[in-house]
Structure formats: C-alpha cells, structure tokens
Structure 1
Amino acid sequence: GWVHGDLKPANVLLMADGSARLADFNMAAELEGTHAYTPAFSTPDYTPPELLWSEIGERGRRIRPSADVWAFGVLAHLVLTGSFPLPGGTPTARRDAAVAYARGGHELRLSPELPPGWREIVRACLTRTHADRIGTDALLRRVTGTTEGASGGAGFSPRTRARPRRRVLAALAAGLLTLAALGYGVARWAGDGREPAAGPRPGGTGSVAAASYGAAELRTDRDVPPAYRLLIVETAHDCDREEVSPALIAAMLKVESDFDPDLADPARDEYGIARWTPSVLRWWMNEDGTPGETVPQPPFPPAESVPAMGRYLCWIAPRLDAGLPGDRSVLVAVAYRTSYRKVNDAGGVPPKYRDYADRVAHHLKEYTPRRGK
C-alpha cells in the first residue's frame, strides 16, 4: 500500500548479513486508491517517462506503484551490468532518451550481460507505459523464481559474483512490497551496525530537497518552481558555458511562459514552457545533435523543452560576436528570441527586443545567488 518514490542505488543499504534494506523515505507516500502523492522531485535516471511531464498539483505529483517498478528495472540493469538501459552519457541525456523511448523514438539497449531470466524481468519493468508494466506481486514472484532457479549458471560465470547480486535484488524486490512494515524511513546508519534512527514522516523533507537543489547557482527564495530546479540546473551543466547558467535558463523560462508547461500560443505557433515553435524544436530535441525525423507536435513536456533550450543556447553563445555591449547572457537570451545574426547585425540588442532583454536581465539578477555572503 505504499510507494517509495525514489528507488536508486544510493537508497539501498547492503547489510553485514548480506540482506538489503531500503532507505530514505522522504519521498514515500501511502496509496489513496490507485495513486499516492509525493513531492515534485525525483532522480531522473530512475523516473518513468510518464512522470517526466506529469501535472504537479497542490498536493504534489500523483504517482503509481508502477513508478517503483520502473526504478527497480533500471536499478537491476545497473547492478547486474554496470550500465543504464537507456543511452546517454549524462542524466539529462538519458532523461531525453526516456522521453524519446516513451514516444517510440528509441529502443531499450539492454546489455548482453543480462541473463535471459533477468532480461525478461527488466523488459517487463521498463515498458513505455505504466499500464503495460509488470505488477509488484508478479515482479516479486519472477525475481524470486529467477534467483532460486539460478544455480551458478543462467548466463553468469561464477567469477562475476552474480549469485550475491541476484540475492540482493530479490531482497530488494521483497522490500518494495513491505514498505509499510519497514516504517517511515532511515535517516542515517551508525557505523557499528546498530538499528537505524527514526526518519521523518513521508512527504516532509522531499520538497525541501527539491526546493534547495542547486542553491549555489540558483536562488531558492524566488519563484522558480521546485519541480523544475533539477531540470534547469542540469541543463545548464550540460552546456558548460559561463553565459548559459541555471539563473539564465530560469529567467528565460519566467519571461517566455511564467513557468507554464501547458502554454499554447497558436497565433505565434509557440508552445510549452520554453515557447518552442515545432519546426524549430525539431532541430534541438535530440541529445545527439541530430534533428528529429518529423516535426514534433505539441504539447511539449518540460523534460523535452528545457534541455532543447539549453542545447540551442549553447550553440548560440559562441556565435555571438566578441565585444558586443551588454551582458553576454542577456545577449544569448535575445538571440534565442530572434537569432544570433540579428544580434550581431544590430551590434547588440535590437531595439525591438529591448523590453525582452530588460525583463530577462531583471530576473537573471533576481535568480543569481549573491556571492561572498
């Protein structure tokens, strides 16, 4: 009757007796019918595609037990092979791949190191839609059966230490079905193996973690929605250019849409949180730099729109002429709204876009943390 909400390797504790225990229940929530409500924050690599663009309500994000099942599939693949099942060298890239996979544009790249039994389990966990995902009871039966049926073979060499890993995964699968019995969480473990200290009640600090993510680069006391902080900060990090900072991306999203993921402006042919024109988004939607095969159709989820914005800004930045007057970050933003050629030709911000530049500059200053304090 519970959803953990943040299943990942860091939240699995391996005990001295070989058992596995779940930790960190700050995101955990009790089911209310078919759903639970958790803070709007999660770890991208273990978040199912349907939650990457889910609506965030006053009570947080609606989440199903199938979200834990997806996370278990990713974790199992990582533990048994050392690699993720979706392509990409960064969490942002793999998140983009998850969106493309859900839309039919990517396939799972399961490692050949997975034995047949585990290959089928992982595939059953990582379906494109939650409705097709294996249920928790069936998952436990299949994991237990595969583990008990593996007598040193099943595609593993005894040198790979596969048997202990399979036992860990079987214990973890059982743990997902007994969240209520495990209590509300584990805040920390003492080094002498004593029992865990009592943790906070679910839903208490998960939202705090979301609201404080990237605090050194993006102020936490302004109106940037916690649900988008991780996305904004990691998108800026993927660019690795000083002009393209988390504060700039947040300022631009504020000016473009006021952080509205459902924005639709048919008169301008612009949609989503970053106000993308579909024919332009096509060229920036793929992490590998290749254009989409077809023009995408709205709605555009933030997990697709924001990284695409970051890739476009990163492409624009080095194409602006050196020595242009004004803040380079603001010039990059203006070039996003018009083009880098028009900014270069105007020798700075074109008159038509001065109001836009002023608004971006205002929020850029507002969202940038103060230094030296």
Structure 2
Amino acid sequence: MTAPTHAGRYRIEQLIGVGGFASVHLAQDDELRSPVAVKILADNWARRRDVRERFLQEARLLRRADSHLLVQVFDIGELDDGRPYFVMTYADRGTLEERLAGGPLAVDETLRLMSDICQGLAVLHSIGVVHRDLKPSNVLFCSRPEGGERVMVADLGIARSTDHLSGLTLPAGSPGYQAPEQLYFDGAPDARADVHGLGALTYHMLTGRVPAKPEQRVPPSALRPGVPEAVDAAVMRALDPDREVRWSDAAAYAAALSSPTVALPEDPPEAPQEERPRRPGRRMALAGGTAVVVAAAAAVTAMAVTASQRPDPPAPGTTSSPPHTGTATSGWLRADSGIPDEYRELIVRAGTSCKEPGLSPALIAAMLKVESGYDPGLSDPESDEYGIARWTPRVLWHWQPGGLQSPKPEPPFSAELSILSMGRFMCALGPKVRDLPGDPALKLAALYRSGVDPLKRANGIPEQWRDYTGKVSRYMRDYQPA
C-alpha cells in the first residue's frame, strides 16, 4: 500500500521504522511547528479487531502514564483507508540499540541511563502495567530544549495491565530479554518480568552482550573488569530464573543498582509514595501521582532482611535484630509499658525490619500509641484513615507486602498489615532524610506524617509536626527497656 502523505493534520515526511504490526513515520505538526512520530497500524492487521484494539490500547496506556520518561501520546485518529494511528514524541537521537552497536557503554553512563529507564518502568508499575518487551530498540533518546537528552521507554504493544494478568497470558517478549515465565502460556508475568528485562538491559550495556542462558551466565564483571560488586549482585539477582528471587519491581532494582553495598535476597518495598496519610484536613493528594512515584522510585532503598537472615534475640538493652517470630520481646519493649500483648511481636518485627538509624520497636509502639491509642478498629472516613496505624487505602496499597501487585486493601485493615507496612515505609524512605539534622527516630516519625520533601524544606522536623514528635518521644522513653 502507498505510504500516506498525511495523518490528520500531520504531514508525513519519511518512514523511520517498521515492526511486525505497525510502521513509524517522521511527520511535521505544521500548526505547532514541531516534529512528531506517527505510528500507523499495518493494513493487513487493521481488519483484525483484536490486533486493532491492542494497538489502540498501547496509545491509551502511554497517555494514561503521561510521563516524560515514557514516549508520550498527543493525538489519535484514522487514515482515510481506516487504519488507526497515534501521534507521539519524536526520538531525534535514536535508540539504545544503535548506541550498543558500537560496543558496551561506560559503567557510570550505564548506571545513569538505567536510573532513568527504571524510573520510567516504575511509572508503569505504579499504574498496574507490565511492559513485557524491554530491549534496546525500545529505549529511545530525545533532545532537550535546554541541551542534553532524555531517555524514553517505548513500545507498549504487548504490555498488559495487571488487572488482566490472572487470565490466560500468551508467550511474549524478545529472546535474551524475556523472563522465563514469558515463554509459557498462562505464565502471568508481573512486574518481576520487567525486572528481568531491566537486568538484561544492564548486562548488555555493561558487557556488550545479551545475557547467556542461566547455566552459562557469568557476572558482568567477568566480562567487564571494574563493574562494582554491588552492581554484579543486583544484576544477577534481577536475571534469576526464579521470579520469587528477583527484585519485586523497577523501583527496588533501581535502588539496588545505586546502593554501595551488595544486595541480599529480600522482599523490598514496592512502588512507593513519598507522602504518608495525614489527619483531617491534611490528607495526602494523589493528583499527579506518577510524578510522586517517579521521584520516590529513585530513592527506594531495599533494606528489609528475611526471617532466615535474622540472628537470635538480644539480651535486654542490646541492638541486634530479633527473630522473625517468637514471644520474647522484653529485650525490645518494657513488659510493664501498657503495650497490648497481641501487638508486641508485630511491633518488634516492624521496628527491626532493617538497620535504619532511629528505627526501633519502641518507636513503632510510640507512634501507634499517638496515632490511634492501639485501636485496630479506628475509622476516620473524613480523612480516609483507618486502623491502628491510620493508613489511607491508596497509600497502604503501595507499602503492603506485595505492593501494587497485591489487591488494593480495603478497610478494616488488620493490625498485622498496618504495623508491618510501617516498617517497610521507614526502611524505604528513611535513607532520604538520614543526613538531615535532628534525632533519627523523631525524623522517621515526622517522615511518616509529612513525607520526604517537607523535611528537606525544613532541614529537619517541620514545625507543624513537633507536637506530634514530642508525644512520640515521651512514649518512646516509657517503652524502651531499662
């Protein structure tokens, strides 16, 4: 079929790419005097209702995400012959595939690019979308008006919403990058499939090679001396054939790549939000939520350790971690402090989720006392806060075990879910305020109430939360063992 000269008001200049289902053309928006890319469904597929719907769904997902770290969609329409098209960002600086044709990238450049790519994927994961086809040709570069360039993740043609992943899922992806579960019918890939793709991208960028089969694979540093040990560990865990071992999502993988220490197998926090639910009149706004998720994604620090890695319980007054389960909590909380017995073990588990300075069972207990007076049935519909830790449903969704890959929680919230999620929140966002002045424990308490940015703007605990942290401080003194 003859190439079109126009797609709506967009004047098509040249073909810039052809795939199995569609072609991409460079076009000019003469009204706004700007180059754009126009993606047009191939004629032989345009009559297939299922393919046509999948093509349009890609445009809808990109529009819904609406992030500068993803290709953005500006318009949609049909050609005169009935073929659908959509208009998107023009990547004038080419693809990652083209850059890798010249060999591996520098380690610092790889980590910088992967930070942006992970943040783009974190946006998708935050809205419940799995890309499923990460590869170098789907990472694009676009000039910035002020100079430099930005990275964009593209091609959601086989992306799936996690709302639909419980149904039959067909094999999909590209060899070398696709996770093992994507090779099978009904593999139901989730965000961890994208983590595998991110690991393969990182491996390729560092070594110039697509990862070999698992039984033949070596760490990147074996092929590229100078790759840090922590990067080796993060990449190899991302590529693990067992998705239960991989990082839980793009945000957790980004944090592992930026960590100076070797990453241990764990269950890191998922798709975080930087803001904590607030009291009436101070509820967290989620408008523009993708921007919040992107900002938080780069900061997530996966520090929680599993039960099998925790040492034996401490003697009173010591600071080593307690067991994941057990009834002996007196080494962490005063026995006569008035903390309900049924919550003591949960409090110890949450307060020892990681080694974040200031985090302790006494802090968690004191915060629960101030938040709800240990009332598991607390219900505050006006501020949309519920349960013993005053979570809002949307925020708890991000911090619950399983994160956005688990069903959105609905009140009433169990004490176990509420308390353990507090530890996940603090282990993830605590490092972002660690260097600010102030008592480490009280900074975490304020963080739980206000989020990261208010603490940074105040260079410590904001004035509006000092009454709250003062109460927490008094209860902490009551709850700490002698």
TM, length-normalised to structure 1: 0.41
| Higher normalized strand content (fraction of residues) | 2
| TM-score of the pair, normalised by structure 2 | 0.32
